[in-house]
Amino acid sequence: MAGQTPINIDGAILEGGGQSLRVSTSLSCIVGKSIRVFNIRAGRTTPGLRSVPQHLSGLIAVRDLCGGSLLGGDVGSLEITFQPGPVRGGQLIADTHTAGSVCLLLQVTLPCALFSASPSCLTLRGGTNADMAPQLDYMLQVFKPIAEKFGVKFDCIVKRRGYYPKGGGEVVVKVSPIGAIKPIILTERGDVTKVFGRAFVIMLCICIYIYIYLLLPIINDDFGCAGVPADKVGVQASEMLIHNLHHGGCVDDYLQDQLIIFMALAQGVSRVLTGPITLHTQTAIHFAEQLTQDHRTLPKGEEEDSYDSSKGGGHSVRD
């Protein structure tokens, strides 16, 4: 790895946000290829690494997991160079110091910890239920069961929840190393028999009575922002649920892109039935193909259900 010519990663491609950084950094760590990421978050109003959420915290966490080197990892940086070392495992603390999403920290660190030489214990601090990010409950009840089909094993202990603007949440994630990721075939959804909803309220009158306890593992709703009436939150969540039910896919719009890294690393062909491919998914696919031996066939249609078929590179723990 030392002396490698870094692979150039254009962070402005497609989604143009923090996802480009998360996917490319995780894959760099796992496959042992140095990267240079430029145009970081070029598609955002405030480009570059931000101090408030999880972008810089995630980079530092991956660096520490593998004992790598990170150049340009400063607030506002538009470019970084990352040179990974062998993933070591052990204890790691990643703290956003704000309400930055612990789930996005998990997204960038979990794949790396799977390929470590020993078990990992990740202490992640920030917002557990943050805006514009996966909710912790979604990660545990939707993402985790599907990840387990790849052979991924991790346990998550919720020490404390954290919300905007203070954060203060803490989760402890224990990750077992994996010899190899198994491919999955997920092409038949079956009949939907139950729907499960979960709502969180903070500093609201206890007289507000919530009666939602219905089980369908396909929705990630972070609409509950301050100033949004509860009835509108409910309508938006319902519309999202109906959309995901209607398209007939086996995964929802928010799970698509989170599976790409595992499909790209799996030993064999994975096939997943989705709805229309999202921009986040297209972005994850682009960088997975750039950094791994992933070979993928993907339909171009945006309105019809899509089969995301991937022949992974079959990676294992590096020395």
Enumerate the active-site residues: 280
Instruction: Report yes or no: 11 and 69 within 8 Å, Cβ to Cβ.
Output: no
Q: CA angle, corner 158, sides to 229 and 204, nearest 5?
A: 25
Question: Is 107 assigned to a binding site?
Answer: yes
Q: Is 255 annotated as a binding residue?
A: yes
- Is 144:158 a contact under the CB 8 Å cutoff? no
Q: Which two tokens stand for residue 218?
A: 């396909």
Tokens at 244, concatenated: 């995901």
> Is the dihedral angle over the CA atoms 188, 190, 192, 193 positive or is it negative?
negative
Q: What are the Cα distances from residue 262, in Å, to 183, 200, 291, 301?
A: 8, 30, 13, 23
Whole-angstrom distance, CA of residue 174 vs CA of residue 113: 9
Ligand-binding annotation for 221, yes or no, is no
Q: According to the annotation, is 257 in a ligand binding site?
A: yes
Give the separation between CA 112 and CA 85, rounded to whole angstroms.
11
Which residues belong to the annotated binding site for ATP? 107, 254-258
